C-alpha cells in the first residue's frame, strides 16, 4: 500500500490545472529561449543568467540544449512531487517567473519596434 505524502495538497482537479501550468512553463521557456537568441544574436541585449551568459554568445546550440534540459528537469522534479504543497508552490512560482520574463521580452520588442 502506498503511503500518502505528509503534505498532500492536490486533488484530481488540481492535478489537471498543474499539468497545464507545467506545459505552459515549457512553452514559456521556449519563447524565452527564442527571444534571448534573437536579442543576443543581434547585439541588442545580454543574457541575464550569469551561468549562461558565455554559453549563449559562444555556443548557442549548447545554450539551447542546456536551457531546455535544465527547465525540463526542474519541471519533471516538481511534477514528480506535485502532491506536496511546496512542489505546487514551485510550479506556480516558476510559471510566474517565466510569465513576467515573457512580458519583459514583449515590452522590449515593442520598444525596439517603435524606434
The per-residue pLDDT for 99 is 97
Cβ-contact 88, 9 below 8 angstroms: yes
- Predicted model pTM: 0.83
> Per DSSP, what are the bridge partners of residue 8?
84
Q: How crowded is residue 115: how many other Cβ atoms within 10 Å of its Cβ?
A: 5
Would you give per-residue pLDDT tens digits along the chain (115 residues)?
565 555 555 677 777 888 999 999 999 999 999 999 999 998 888 888 888 888 998 999 999 999 999 999 999 999 999 888 899 899 999 999 999 999 999 998 888 777 6
Amino acid at each position: 500500500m502506498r503511503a500518502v505524502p505528509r503534505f498532500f495538497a492536490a486533488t484530481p482537479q488540481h492535478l489537471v490545472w498543474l499539468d497545464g501550468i507545467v506545459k505552459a512553463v515549457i512553452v514559456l521557456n521556449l519563447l524565452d529561449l527564442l527571444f534571448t537568441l534573437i536579442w543576443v544574436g543581434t547585439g541588442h541585449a545580454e543574457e541575464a543568467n550569469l551561468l549562461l551568459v558565455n554559453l549563449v554568445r559562444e555556443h548557442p546550440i549548447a545554450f539551447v540544449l542546456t536551457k531546455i534540459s535544465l527547465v525540463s528537469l526542474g519541471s519533471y522534479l516538481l511534477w514528480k512531487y506535485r502532491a506536496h504543497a511546496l512542489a505546487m508552490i514551485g510550479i506556480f512560482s516558476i510559471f510566474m517567473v517565466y510569465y513576467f520574463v515573457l512580458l519583459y521580452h514583449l515590452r522590449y520588442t515593442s520598444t525596439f519596434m517603435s524606434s
